Structure 1
Amino acid sequence: MADRSPSEIARETLKQLATRRLAPTPDNYQAIYEEISGAPSPAIFPEGPLRHIQRVLPGQTPAQKRLLGQFETAITHKDWSALQGVMVGYANLGLNPVATSASATTPEPVAVVPDDLAEQMARLVDTTLPALGEDDARVHELAGQLTRFLRDGAPPASTLVLMLSNFSYRLSFATEDQAAIRAGLLTLLHMVFENIAALSADDQWLQGQAEALMAASTPPLTLRRLDDVQRRLKDVIFKQTEARERTVEAQEQMKDLLATFIERLAQMTTSSSNFHGTMERCAELIGRATSLEEIAPVLQEVMTATRAMALDSRIAHGELQTLRERTEEKRAEIAKLQAELDRASAQARHDPLTGSLNRKGLDEVMEREIARARRHGSSLCVALLDVDNFKAINDRLGHGTGDAALVHLAQVTRTVMRPQDMLARYGGEEFVLVLPDTSLSQGVEAMTRLQRELTTRFFLQDNEKVLITFSAGVAQLATTETSSEAIRRADQGMYLAKRSGKNRVMAA
């Protein structure tokens, strides 16, 4: 009956009241009207009766005055949840809400939340909301009610428990939704990146992009990791774009050379056809000649055509040889550009041997972490380590084994250290570790732990266990110190460790 007009529904309602012999009260009329229309009427907020209740509620003590103010706000906003909280607050005061001030008894003490704790809780709610998105309006509404209640002054603990229960219940749904959205987006991103990698198996340019993006979207995600990959991708894209443009230019030049080559072959074909035509015509004239006088001009034409053909052949041979040389040069240039493109895809701020950061990557990480440490007032340490007796390893087992030993050291370091700790190759066998949120004593302890792990994780070369040790210096960044100065102090600590017997960690 949704298509009937209100007047028709009203007439039908009156008929039903008469047919059912019901008293024409407002409640009976509303019930039958809703039954016929199929749409229940919205509940009427009893503002008038609540105002009468407000006038007789006590308001002598600060707690009562605060509750009266909340009661007024709840009526103005027609907020049943806030009204419920106010009534619970009055109940906890030990008062009869309908009693007058003359008959009011002395209220029992009520537990209230300290203002500083209430403000901290309100800030916690405020900082939580941005992570929830805007999809759930109800959780934002409850959060607004909760923060206003907390900042209203001396909030009763019992009311706060009720409001926190309602908010946390709704919050659980919102956080589950956000976690599901995040997991779904990461899955979609991985599918896209894997598809790009599968479709570009022969294109190292796209392969490099896909691998970096897949690494960025693999949990656990951290802001440091995303920032590092973002910077790396920007550098890779710039280098790849430059090399790509040069490759396209070289390919266009190759196309021009091939077009010239084909054009010259066509000219040679035309010249050859003309020569054969001349020879056939001259042979026919010689066959019809009856005297030497008739043959002489024909022979002259044959000799002229032959000389012209020989000249054209020499010219064509020279041009083709030049084209061949230019083609080989362009082919070599394209191969070189492709190799540069491959290197740009695989490395931008990373050491190609160990996969750790290179000097450029280290500079960027230090700049970012120093700014973060000073912004948050946190500590930052840098450690410089140098492999002990590395020359002896190279001399005894070869440089290939030395390189493999450095790779082993980098792998163990990445396994043992925290995800936020960044490893960079500083020199031949020197590495720098950037340790955020780390004091000097904690930095020394972390490097000592890494030394112990290296003694348990042997490097194997042709079934021979090779023990790798290092000496390290650790420096905590001073208030006005630069990254170069901190690394220089760590370097001095490393030399002290070397002179003290190696395989040691010294604080700088």
Structure 2
Amino acid sequence: MSSPATPFEIARDTLKQLAQRRIAPTPDNYQTLYHEIAGTKPSGTDFPERQLRSLAAALPKSSPDQLRLARQLDEAVKAANWEAYQNHLTGFINGLAETQKLAWGELIGDLMRQWQARHPGLTPARKRDSLEHVLAGSASNSDNLFSRLQGLLRAWGQGSENEGNLAVDTEETAKTDSPEPTVAASEPQLLNEIRELFAFTLETAIASQLADSPQLAEDARTLAADVRRARRVDETQAFLARLKRFAFKLELLAEDQQELRKSLLGLMRLLVENITELITDDRWLQGQIEVVREIIDKPLSQRSIDDAERRLKEVLFKQSQLKASLLDAREAIKQMLAGFVDHLADFAGATSDYHDKIEGFAAKISSADDVSQLESVLAEVMRETRNIQINALRSHDELRQTEQKVKEAEARIHELEHELARTSILVRHDQLTGALNRHGLEDMFDKEIARARRHETVLCVALLDIDNFKKLNDSLGHDAGDQALIHLANTCRTTLRPQDTVARYGGEEFVILLPETHIEDATMVLTRLQRELTKNFFLHDNEKVLITFSAGVTQMTEQDNPTSVIKRADEAMYKAKQTGKNRVVSQ
């Protein structure tokens, strides 16, 4: 049914919908249904993007909180989210209201009284210098200014010059009264170590992660130098202010990178979804496209990307070999056809010569006076006829041979094309279960061992074997056994973590790699997998068949290699078989 195109048709359909849905025919209901049918929005509900952007642009941006508010408002406008815009703005205003609740009047009154009071060792000039110092260091942060002024008043009350000396004097008094002078004496050293550790963190852990943002990396190194030089309270306060601005920049950078990552993944997803429209035959690309689609649909990890890279390299190498053979087969057909055409041309030329000679023999026969003259002419006719007959038979045989070669070449081409398509699909590794095969397991084993040693983490290995698999094959048939293997592999994939590796080790045996998992946790993982396999029945001819497995779990050590750790897991699995099957034994 075509959509209504004219206002009359839209109005007619609106009245019908009011009657069919039994909605009260009020102006608001009519307007809502009218715009729903027309596919438009009421003019009064348009998002005021221009006005909200103007409002956000007029707000001050002198502090990190104000900059954060501006960014939040901009994102809300982009998403046309009025509720988020309202929440961010009201939250910021409420924060300002909390700040204004500070007892500034009482604080200023105390400041005036302390200014006029006499304090031993403090002159009005020293008081003025200390007050100017506090105002210069915290003028942009009202909360910090309030707390520092309170500290300054307490310091004046105890005869100190600035608010930082109060803490120092208190500590010195505690050190004097303390019976352990060695601990007090070590505090400056501890402070220096903490300062150096902070600087080291800025220079290495943070700056090294900002290779794509050289300005932020330079800021991190500058902050490291500042914290090393900071000795007085004012220098520390100034450093903290710069550190807050730097942290805010890091937050913005993280948000930008997250947005960039989303955009790149969206672009990749769009390319994958539309790649079939850009090529005429995508049979050879089905496996590769499926790998890329799996990566962009799941959370990104270095492990999944490494695995996909290895799988793609393997299938691309196989396909390149098969494609070269395919091109050779097609070239052979071209050469055979070209040779056959040349032979046909030679045969046609010989036939033309034969016709010319026959015409000459006919003229000789016509001009002959007696029968004796015809003997030599007839001999030549027979000889030429025999030659053309021999050429015709040879051409027939060559035609048959060429036809047979062409058929063989075409069959080889079809075989290679099928192998190319099958190789692309077999990027899933094991043809039956879709799990890794032995070769894929060896590659993943090497990667996981290297990753565990590099990050100093643990790696557990499990070997599981389906219980009574031979009995299942004998009673239900090999097709049922294959489907049981597929069912087990699918249950493993849905139950285990994305970073875990499942490989078919041979027959009904599977190996599972569990990175960053201690042996106790690995045993629990295999036990949970047994429960899931018990809950998810295997169906054969619409009948439930219970499948269980016995498993051995072990944890790799520094001296282990893939062969030794699998052997130990196999021994544990054998113990599980001996103790009643459907068990998990760790070793």
Using structure 2 for the length normalisation, give the TM-score: 0.64
The offset of 1:369, in angstroms, is: 1.1
Q: Does 1:192 align with 2:271?
A: yes
For residue 434 of structure 1, what is the amino acid of its counterpart? L
Q: Does 1:406 align with 2:463?
A: no
The offset of 1:213, in angstroms, is: 3.3
Change (3 A) 1:155 1:393: farther
Query: In the alignment, which of 473, 483, 494 is matched to residue 562 of structure 2?
Result: 483
Query: In the alignment, which of 388, 404, 426 is matched to residue 347 of structure 1?
Result: 426
Change (3 A) 1:398 1:266: same
Q: Does 1:363 align with 2:414?
A: no
Q: Please give the per-residue CA displacement for 1:98-155, whole angstroms capped at 9, x wherever unaligned.
A: x9xx983682217999666663696278545565664584x54654454444455679
Note if contact 1:200-1:206 (Cα within 8 Å) is conserved in structure 2: no
Query: In the alignment, which of 120, 123, 127 is matched to residue 201 of structure 2?
Result: 123
Change (3 A) 1:116 1:418: farther
Matches within 5 A, 1:48-447: 91=148, 94-95=151-152, 104=161, 107-109=165-167, 119=197, 123=201, 127-128=205-206, 134=212, 137=215, 139-140=216-217, 142-152=219-229, 162-200=241-279, 202-283=281-362, 286=365, 291-347=370-426, 350-447=429-526
Change (3 A) 1:149 1:492: same
Note if contact 2:198-2:224 (Cα within 8 Å) is conserved in structure 1: no
Change (3 A) 1:240 1:84: same
Note if contact 1:149-1:155 (Cα within 8 Å) is conserved in structure 2: no
Q: Secondary structure at the match of 2:303?
A: helix
The offset of 1:387, in angstroms, is: 0.6
Change (3 A) 1:183 1:503: same
Q: Name which structure has the greater RCO, CA cutoff 8 Å, separation 6+.
A: 1
Percent of residue pairs identical: 41
Distance 1:315 1:372 in 2: 69
Query: Which has the larger displacement, 157-166 or 253-262?
Result: 157-166
For residue 438 of structure 2, what is the amino acid of its counterpart? R
Note if contact 2:137-2:238 (Cα within 8 Å) is conserved in structure 1: no
Change (3 A) 1:136 1:342: same
Distance 1:304 1:291 in 2: 22
Note if contact 1:193-1:210 (Cα within 8 Å) is conserved in structure 2: yes
Note if contact 1:196-1:206 (Cα within 8 Å) is conserved in structure 2: no
Note if contact 1:475-1:490 (Cα within 8 Å) is conserved in structure 2: yes
Distance 2:485 2:581 in 1: 17
Change (3 A) 1:437 1:81: farther
Change (3 A) 1:314 1:502: same
For residue 253 of structure 2, what is the amino acid of its counterpart? A
Using structure 1 for the length normalisation, give the TM-score: 0.73
Q: Secondary structure at the match of 1:347?
A: helix
Change (3 A) 1:288 1:216: farther
For residue 104 of structure 1, what is the amino acid of its counterpart? E
Distance 2:439 2:462 in 1: 17
Note if contact 1:474-1:507 (Cα within 8 Å) is conserved in structure 2: yes
Q: Secondary structure at the match of 2:513?
A: strand
Tell me the residue number matched to 2:41.
Answer: none
Change (3 A) 1:126 1:239: same
Distance 2:210 2:463 in 1: 42
Distance 1:426 1:388 in 2: 15
Q: Secondary structure at the match of 1:435?
A: strand
Bigger helix share: 2
Note if contact 2:462-2:569 (Cα within 8 Å) is conserved in structure 1: yes
The offset of 1:396, in angstroms, is: 1.9
Change (3 A) 1:395 1:328: same
Stretches of structure 1 lacking an aligned partner (at least 5 in a row): 1-67, 72-79
Change (3 A) 1:378 1:282: same
Q: Please give the per-residue CA displacement for 1:185-222, whole angstroms capped at 9, x wherever unaligned.
A: 22223333444444445354344433333334443111
Q: Please give the per-residue CA displacement for 1:134-186, whole angstroms capped at 9, x wherever unaligned.
A: 4584x546544544444556796866664454233333322221112112222
Change (3 A) 1:151 1:378: farther
Change (3 A) 1:423 1:105: closer
The offset of 1:341, in angstroms, is: 2.8
Change (3 A) 1:429 1:173: same
Distance 2:229 2:480 in 1: 70
For residue 209 of structure 1, what is the amino acid of its counterpart? Q
Note if contact 1:197-1:210 (Cα within 8 Å) is conserved in structure 2: no
Change (3 A) 1:154 1:394: farther
Tell me the residue number matched to 1:4.
Answer: none
Q: What is the number of residues matched between the two proteins?
A: 425
Note if contact 2:199-2:223 (Cα within 8 Å) is conserved in structure 1: no
Q: Secondary structure at the match of 1:406?
A: helix
Note if contact 1:349-1:360 (Cα within 8 Å) is conserved in structure 2: no
Query: Which has the larger displacement, 127-136 or 242-251?
Result: 127-136
Distance 1:445 1:500 in 2: 18
